[in-house]
């Protein structure tokens, strides 16, 4: 559905431990890293870029914007949430079923150290 998502950070030293931990539990490899930023994903697949803004103005999270990462299991949702909490993220919704979306919708919401809203979601009925 998408090629890539780019999220800004104002403090790469603070953001890096969060992003490397969260993307590791989601099995998104580091594509490349440079001073101040990183790219996760595969060259021919979806990617997430995290770094300074292109216009060098302060990075600000968008109101109403969040990025949801599709995972294969509810355990991966739990691991995502745990890694985020252990590495400077903040809770925006603990892992749980959200049947108002559909009966098997299991997700968790967090914010990264810069306030970007992220989610991991599993649509499977299997744990």
The encoded tokens of residue 111 equal 């914010």
pTM above 0.85, yes or no: yes
In this structure, how many other beta carbons lie within 10 angstroms of the beta carbon of residue 6? 13
Q: Is residue 127 included in any domain, yes or no?
A: no
The number of domains in the chain is 1
The CA distance from 3 to 122, in Å, is: 20
Band (pLDDT 50/70/90 cuts) for residue 78 is very high
The burial class, CB within 10 Å (0-12 / 13-18 / 19+), for 18 is buried
Q: What is the CA radius of gyration of the chain?
A: 14
Q: Identify the CATH number of the domain in which residue 66 sits.
A: 3.10.180.10
Residue 127 has pLDDT above 80, yes or no: no
- Per-residue confidence at 2, pLDDT binned at 50, 70, 90? confident
The answer to whether residue 90 sits within a structural domain is yes
Token pair in block for residue 22: 């969260």
Within-domain flag for 58? yes
> What would the pLDDT profile of 103-117 be if each residue is shown by its tens digit?
999 999 999 999 999
Please indicate, yes or no, if residue 65 is contained in any of the structural domains.
yes
Of 23, 121, 26, 25, the residue nearest 74 (C-alpha) = 121
Write down the H helix ranges in 10-64.
12-25
Interval 34-53: pLDDT, tens? 989 999 999 999 999 999 99
The boundaries of the domain holding residue 83 are: 4-122
Does residue 60 lie within any of the structural domains?
yes
Residue 15 lies in a domain: yes
């Amino acid at each position: 559905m998408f090629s890539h998502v780019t999220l800004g950070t104002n403090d790469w030293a603070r953001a890096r431990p969060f992003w490397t931990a969260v993307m590791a539990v989601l099995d998104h490899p580091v594509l490349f890293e440079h001073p101040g930023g990183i790219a996760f994903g595969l060259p021919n697949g979806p990617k997430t870029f995290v770094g300074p803004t292109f216009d060098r103005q302060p990075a600000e999270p968008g109101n109403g914007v969040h990025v949801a990462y599709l995972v294969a299991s509810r355990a991966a949702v739990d691991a995502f949430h745990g890694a985020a909490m252990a590495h400077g993220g903040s809770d925006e919704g603990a892992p749980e079923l959200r049947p108002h979306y559909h009966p098997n919708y299991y997700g968790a919401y967090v914010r990264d150290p810069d306030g970007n809203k992220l989610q991991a979601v599993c649509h499977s009925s299997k744990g």
